[in-house]
Structure 1
Amino acid sequence: MNFHQLHIFYTVAERGSFSAAAQALHMTQPAVTMQIQALEDYFGVKLLHRSTKKMELSEAGRTLLPYAMKSMELVRETDTAMSAFTQMLEGRLMLGASLTIGEYVLPRLLGPFGQEYPHISIVMKVMNTTQIMDDILRHQLNFGLIEAPVHHPDMVVEPVMQDELLLIVPGSHPLADRDEVSLAEALEYPFILREQGSGTRQVMEEEIQRRKAVLPELQTVMELGSTGAVKSAVEAGLGITMLSPSSVKHEVALGLLKIIRIGDASFKRKFYAIRLKSSLLPISAVTFLTYLRQQGGEGVQAADHAAFRDHSAEERTI
């Protein structure tokens, strides 16, 4: 018995067929069958009942399944623990990042990571959550970083960083002289939103929907496909929006935009790593995700809010 056989057994059980498991594992179906047979020979029992219509776990297979899952988790934990001692890691990571993470959060973290692990190269595709999931399912990406949790039977979703959406208005807006407003006050003005499928939009709409009975209806005047486009439209006075403070640092410093806290609502969110259940991450990917957890747990939110407070204090002083 070896870990590879347990991994194959787990994938067959999860996918429900040898052909689906073979596709997920990038193996031929006969190779998958051979490894399952070797595992059955080792234990001396049938693990799977196969018929022309369906495949079912035997009682022995149902007993083995949680141990196979534990073995996969143990390997992941081992990779994470040992990566701290491995400075000469090599590899090429293909990851997807949603727009806010890819354009405004990760760039400041990639430099220090590259200095610590110079032999790991990262190829990052910036796109929305739906596109990232599609590419992971097609095995085009090792993993993705997204702005809101998703639910998919083939995916593992784990929190890695924290952030919060705040109200963003033009520097000349009637609310621009306020440091805090209520959600009802904010909803009296037209909003510019990201496109459907955006994690930023999902977090905002879920909180508003939760309190829909006591709030005015959200007025959406424009939907745009990038955070940069949303910022430009808000600068032009076409509406207001909610974004991560990390995405508007330069515009706030120039006085083009103003960040306002919503006092009676919280749009806190976590950034999530998403990957296939049936695929083990390479150690270079485990190392990168460990680095993000260490650097970005409270850091993104705390640093941006500190900058927001400092800027507000500057304005009051001036």
Structure 2
Amino acid sequence: MALNFHQLHIFFTVAEKGSFSAAAQALHMTQPAVTMQVQSLEDYFGTKLLQRSTKRIDLTEAGRALLPYAQRSLDLIRETDQAMSLFTSKLKGRLQLGASLTIGEYILPRLLGPFGLEYPHISISMKVMNTAQIIEDIMNNQLNFGLIEAPVSHADMQMDKVLSDELVLIVAPNHPLASQKQVTLADAVKHPFVVREQGSGTRLVMEDQLRKQDIDPNSLEIVMELGSTGAVKSAVEAGVGISIVSSSSIKHEVALGLIRVVPLSDVNFRRHFYSIHLKSALLPISAVTFLTFLRERDLKQWL
């Protein structure tokens, strides 16, 4: 019997999840199949790698020694997939992903067309949902990966920067700030705000930047909280309040003169978008190819 990557991947997942059942769910395998592969790996090395008990699984000394090599083998496979994704123009497969609201509604629709032209044999299925739902679906193996607007802390998740974005201040055309060439953030926050709901990526970035400027987010006069960027834009257009939104989401409204962007003189709301997936999972080559497309191409021509 020869050592193979599949067994190392299974061993790593069992060690990370702490149980055969959780590893089986993550790997889309039966529990007996996972157990058999680990036992085969133990037979190959001639030593126990996992100490089994009724409540938990612990690594033996040999298992602890093997774990970093298993991790490196996973990393090498991921690097190999990424390198080869540049040569996969005839790639076939299904791409399943989740995207948070701003990305799913305003960014990806402009990019999926060019990607589809370049990779016509990859079918795409995208769910637009909030970050918490994306993580839940990834954990339940309903999605391969997701694209989110703000970093999150999750022990099972791997996050990588894939895109950048800028938030801008928007006002109605007849708003007092609309005639200003630029304003300070301190002046802007004196006006009523329309904002996204708590927990949205856009709001998290906005509040974080406010704190960096020594402005308490709770001091804002928030007249309305809304569950989508489209609703926020409509409220601003109607003169309900001002807001800070992604520049990618307002091109249509600005072109029609429905809202105006007022530059902020003392702060730049730059942010990153992130891909997120299970640390223990190997993404399908279709997903690796799509993420490489986002990172390597000049996307400005489409955005």
Q: TM-score by structure 1 length?
A: 0.90
Q: Aligned residue for 1:195?
A: 197
User: Match for 2:139 among 137, 140, 143?
Assistant: 137
Alignment-mate amino acid for residue 244 of structure 2: M
User: Match for 2:43 among 41, 44, 53?
Assistant: 41
Q: Percent identity?
A: 67
Q: Aligned residue for 2:244?
A: 242
- Structure 1 SS opposite 2:153: coil
Count of aligned residue pairs for this structure pair? 301
Q: Aligned residue for 1:125?
A: 127
Could you tell me whether the CA contact under 8 Å between 1:146 and 1:272 is conserved in 2? yes
- Structure 2 SS opposite 1:176: helix
The answer to whether 1:223 aligns with 2:225 is: yes
Could you tell me whether the CA contact under 8 Å between 1:167 and 1:242 is conserved in 2? yes
Partners in 2 of 1:159 and 1:118 — Cα distance?
26
Could you tell me whether the CA contact under 8 Å between 1:16 and 1:55 is conserved in 2? yes
Could you tell me whether the CA contact under 8 Å between 1:22 and 1:29 is conserved in 2? yes
Q: CA deviation at 1:45?
A: 1.4
- Structure 1 SS opposite 2:263: strand
Alignment-mate amino acid for residue 144 of structure 1: G
Could you tell me whether the CA contact under 8 Å between 2:210 and 2:216 is conserved in 1? no
Could you tell me whether the CA contact under 8 Å between 2:111 and 2:302 is conserved in 1? no
Structure 1 residues 216, 43: closer, same or farther in 2, change over 3 A?
Answer: closer
Alignment-mate amino acid for residue 235 of structure 1: E
- Structure 2 SS opposite 1:288: helix
Partners in 2 of 1:276 and 1:219 — Cα distance?
39
Q: Aligned residue for 2:268?
A: 266
Alignment-mate amino acid for residue 198 of structure 1: S
More displaced 10-residue stretch of structure 1: 261-270 or 158-167:
261-270
Could you tell me whether the CA contact under 8 Å between 1:10 and 1:65 is conserved in 2? yes
Q: Aligned residue for 2:183?
A: 181
Q: CA deviation at 1:172?
A: 0.9
User: Match for 1:12 among 1, 11, 14?
Assistant: 14
Q: CA deviation at 1:43?
A: 0.9
Q: CA deviation at 1:208?
A: 1.4
Unaligned runs of 5+ in 1: 305-318
Could you tell me whether the CA contact under 8 Å between 2:164 and 2:273 is conserved in 1? yes
Partners in 2 of 1:169 and 1:216 — Cα distance?
21
Q: Aligned residue for 1:23?
A: 25
1:235-280 C-alpha deviation (Å, 9 max, x unpaired) = 0000010011111111111111111222222221100001111221
- Structure 2 SS opposite 1:160: strand
Partners in 2 of 1:239 and 1:105 — Cα distance?
25
Structure 1 residues 108, 213: closer, same or farther in 2, change over 3 A?
Answer: closer
How is 1:100-119 mapped onto 2 (pairs within 5 angstroms)?
100-119=102-121
Structure 1: which 4+ aligned runs deviate by more than 3 Å?
A: 210-216
The answer to whether 1:281 aligns with 2:283 is: yes
1:134-185 C-alpha deviation (Å, 9 max, x unpaired) = 1111111111111101111111111000011111111111111123211110
Q: TM-score by structure 2 length?
A: 0.95
Partners in 2 of 1:138 and 1:23 — Cα distance?
8
Could you tell me whether the CA contact under 8 Å between 1:187 and 1:216 is conserved in 2? no
1:83-136 C-alpha deviation (Å, 9 max, x unpaired) = 211211111111111111111111111111111100001111112112211111
Partners in 2 of 1:303 and 1:39 — Cα distance?
49
Q: CA deviation at 1:79?
A: 1.0
Q: CA deviation at 1:213?
A: 5.5
Could you tell me whether the CA contact under 8 Å between 1:161 and 1:292 is conserved in 2? yes
Q: Aligned residue for 1:80?
A: 82
Structure 1 residues 223, 17: closer, same or farther in 2, change over 3 A?
Answer: same
Unaligned runs of 5+ in 2: none
